[in-house]
Amino acid sequence: MTIINFVFLLASLVFVITVHEYAHAWMANFLGDPTAKNQGRISLNPLRHLDPMGTLLIFLAGIGWGKPVPVNPFYFKNRKVYEAAVALAGPMMNLIVAVIVLIPLKYFGDSLGIYLETLLFTIFDISILLFAFNMLPFAPLDGSKVVGIIIPDKWQGKYQEFLANSAMYFFVFLLVDHFILTRYFGFSILSFIIGWIVTLTKTVLFLGT
């Protein structure tokens, strides 16, 4: 990786994570929860959203996170639906960003210049990747809240029990996936799932622009 590509990667990560967390904060406030607003999280200042360890792990392990947006569901009129809406806001913002940068790439790519084209492609790829990863149904990922709205009420108790331990399940899964499946069998379930979501999303976006 060249220095310029590394700079573009770092800038893209900072931007994509920032708008992702901003969207969570904005939606929570819009739906009646001022907690994030009161902590200054409705901001496009990256310093308010980046988690140092989460950002470092993106480069070291390929998986990381931003600083979680605080949400107090007791402010919500419909807790399950509003929590899902707040969770979905982050990944949807990543899709919106992907569409925005895809338009000039698709229609003006040859005239953008190599540096701008590379930067936009990097933002596009990271936006789609972050969308795909966050839609996995494991807490604390956004997908766990989104999936929750389609779980029947009679199973909500069991689902909440699953969510309470799903971070541990996900951590164990990552260890098995990386240190056993990938190392000894050359196949990663996580990479396959995320790759499938990324490919499907890119196909839909390219057909729609």
Catalytic residues: 21
Instruction: Note the Cα 49 to chain centre separation in Å.
Output: 13
Interatomic CA distance for residues 75 and 35, integer angstroms: 9
Residue 76 contacts residue 92 (beta carbons within 8 Å):
no
Task: Quickly tell me which residue has 């310029």 as its tokens.
Answer: 4
User: Measured between alpha carbons, how far is residue 68 from residues 10, 78, 101, 135, 153 in Å?
Assistant: 20, 21, 25, 15, 27
* DSSP sequence for 143-205: HHHHHHTTS-GGGHHHHHHHHHHHHHHHHHHHHHIIIIIIHHHS--HHHHHHHHHHHHHHHHH
